[in-house]
Chains A and B, each alone.
Chain A
């Protein structure tokens, strides 16, 4: 079974803090994604990566950055957390290449910025 693991289930951070959300996948997938999930807004893509050190902006990249130094790990960074970044964050991966099919999701990190 593909396993996508997010380092924290719940996080509470203060406004202005730098926040790191970590995601690890164990199936040698090329593609990795960060979404935020908000009621009524569905899933919105923040950033994605199709290879080590490669990244692409999604639909809502403002206030976020990412890092992919190793294939299995994709980090989301909130440079200076704000209350409007309080949300559920989902990491996902997919195999990539010509065989790319479904995405596999982590369990989510519920971030509260106070």
Chain B
């Protein structure tokens, strides 16, 4: 069965500090991994996905199949990064689009 684990419910850092939001998954098939973000009073939106291998708003995430992890990292956090972050998994190649979400990590970046 598929499972996405985000071990930290809350994470606080100071502006300019590095930040890492952890995500581990279990899935027997070939997964596609995503990070979604929800800023205050905004809708949930895609931040990045592992297939595109790009950096968005300074964030990167690398899929580590050996450790079954997809941690989100940013070297220098900004106050505007404060938000709820969700890691999500999809069966790669699935046409149904069903996502399995972790429980989320609330990131607060202090000035």
Contact = CB atoms under 8 A, between A and B. Distances in A.
* A and B: interacting chains: yes
B98 interface: yes
Contact of B43 (A41, A48, A97, A107): A107
Interface string A76-114: 000000000000001010111110111111111000000
B102 interface: yes
Interface of B: 6, 9, 34, 43-46, 49, 86, 94-99, 101-104
8 contacts: A35-B101, A42-B104, A43-B99, A44-B101, A58-B98, A96-B96, A103-B97, A105-B45
Contacts of A100: 94-97
B43 A101 contact: no
B96 A31 contact: yes
Given A40-B9, A40-B103, A42-B102, A108 B97 contact: no
A45 interface: yes
If over half of B's interface residues share one DSSP class (helix, strand or loop), that class is named, otherwise mixed; here it is loop
Contacts of B102: 42
Contacts of A31: 96-97
Contacts of B9: 40
Most buried by A among B34, B96, B102: B96
A74 interface: no
A62 to B, nearest CB: 18
Contacts of A33: 97-99
A90 B6 CA distance: 20
Given A40-B9, A40-B103, A101-B49, A45 B44 contact: no
A43 B43 contact: no
Nearest to B94: A100
A101 B43 CA distance: 18
Contacts of A48: 96-98
Contacts of B46: 102-103
